[in-house]
Amino acid sequence: MGKPTGFIDYLRELPPEQMPIERIRNWDEFHLPMEEEKLRTQGARCMDCGTPFCHTGNMLSGMASGCPINNLIPEWNDLIYRGLWKEALDRLHKTNNFPEFTGRVCPAPCEGSCVLGITNPPVTIKNIEYSIAERGWEEGWIVAEPPQKRTGKKVAIIGSGPAGLSAAAQLNKAGHWITVYERADRPGGLLMYGIPNMKLDKQDVVMRRIDLLKAEGVQFVCNTEIGKDLPTETLLKEFDAVVLCTGSTRPRDLPIEGRELGGIHFAMDFLTANTKAVLDGEPDDGYLSAAGKDIVIIGGGDTGTVCVGTSIRHGCNSVVQVEIMPRPPLERAADNPWPEYPKVYRLDYGQEEAVAKFGNDPRAYITTATSFVGDEKGQVEGVRTVQVEWERDEQGRFIPKHVPGTEKVLPAQLVLLAMGFLGPEQPLLDAMDLERDPRSNVKADHGQYATSLPGVFAAGDCRRGQSLVVWAFNEGRGAARECDRYLMGTTELP
């Protein structure tokens, strides 16, 4: 490394952000740029550790440890320290097709496994990645690079989310003709409609990259659902190979008393309609407003956080996020050692905004909903909750037990269910007669990605289940490699 003592000489420093009380007034991204000199200083903190766990991409205790796409992190940290930004971008693009996306939305398991993080705050890997990518766009280094030769092979990709886009980029690079089918009105999948604009700008960031893919020869066909608008038989006949990247889009429901009441919705319906309204400039018939309402969000993960930030921007009266798990500790627990992803208490942007607006973290920990309360018009007006204790059952499994005397009713005129997803939607898989695993995902071995139907591959959440955007990038690239091998007999894709 250029600065062997950088991790001793410099403290971790993140870029400034727009104040939460200010940013809730709009849908703009709120991260502010960081001075180049400070970025180079942060790169210098990368400590030449010898065995860089940051880019291992392993699964430990069910969580990612290190970068799932194996970004060459120490190398580009060193390059920006030395001011070699173009070379850093080239090194970043070797493993990551879309660093401007991961630099914004990835939870940074790389930082959780940073060797420096054993004793000190880890290197600001995520912000450095974001800064390299944005520097590339600003300098005009990221330009369309269509393949010099075409193979004549045609590949259909179903789904334009993270896995679909990375598969499209790689297969197009190999010279195949790529058509990406998307049932929504805009391409991008989860990147377009699952992540709000203030975290990932759609026009200036998502469409910027999709327009580049179009310029490289990738064709996007929106408003087209395979199996309905286009028969699967036609698709299989017209294309030499198919890559399924449909995601895990069946939401987990909460079938408790009062579920039939009006005003109870799945989180993704709320978020999709909101982003569509932001992009269209006006709401459509499916729009759900939180304005002037008491909001209860059931689910404590990323989707719940997004719902918090969106509800506050609507002008909600109050917001509570019900979380059945205990509040994490401030520091790593003994059973969560490095290099596992650190399960520690933190305020994400949505909770930060709730603190600024209402004065408190909106999460109600170790709490579960027991029933919904309705008014005389059949609309929800409250959520009955109770606190829980986690105890082991006869098989040694932890299960939640209700704590008597902790019942309460939370006021709610809008309830959002953000409890995760159960797997891919089944009609398309049924139509193709694809084999499924016990969790209803498409059965295809990791590293091979081949389904039970020859010439059909699967990648991303429809294969592995609900996961991180960066894992979808990993799988899209892997499926592209195996699809190229299937088509050509050999492959040069990584």
- Range 274-286 average pLDDT: 94
Cα of first residue to Cα of last residue in the chain, in angstroms, is 26
CA angle 119/123/128 to nearest 5° reads: 175
Mean confidence (pLDDT) of the chain: 96
- Using the predicted structure, report yes or no on whether residue 375 has a pLDDT greater than 70: yes
Local confidence band at 337 (pLDDT 50, 70, 90 cut-offs): very high
Q: Is residue 1 part of a domain?
A: no
Stated pTM of the model? 0.95
Q: Are residues 478 and 385 in the same domain?
A: no
- Range 86-104 average pLDDT: 97
- Using the predicted structure, report yes or no on whether residue 302 has a pLDDT greater than 70: yes
**Tens-place pLDDT, residues 392-439:** 988 888 999 999 999 999 999 999 999 999 999 999 999 999 999 999
| Distances in whole angstroms, Cα of residue 151 to Cα of each of 88, 391, 455, 478, 484 | 31, 59, 16, 19, 10
Give the per-residue pLDDT at 396.
85
- Range 52-62 average pLDDT: 92
Give the per-residue pLDDT at 393.
87
* Alpha carbon distance 388, 326 (integer Å): 9
**Tens-place pLDDT, residues 138-157:** 999 999 999 999 999 999 99
Lowest mean pLDDT segment, chosen from 195-199, 395-399, 477-481, 486-490: 395-399
Tokens standing for residue 323 = 């979380």
Give the per-residue pLDDT at 1.
66
Lowest mean pLDDT segment, chosen from 1-15, 161-175, 215-229, 357-371: 1-15
- Domain span at 191: 154-249+422-488
Here the CATH number for the domain that contains residue 219 is 3.50.50.60
Here the CATH number for the domain that contains residue 84 is 1.10.1060.10
Q: Are residues 235 and 273 in the same domain?
A: no
Instruction: Give 325's contacts (C-beta < 8 A, 6+ positions apart).
Output: 300, 365, 366
Q: Are residues 48 and 115 in the same domain?
A: yes
Q: Are residues 286 and 413 in the same domain?
A: yes
Of 139, 168, 194, the residue at which a domain comes to its end is: 139
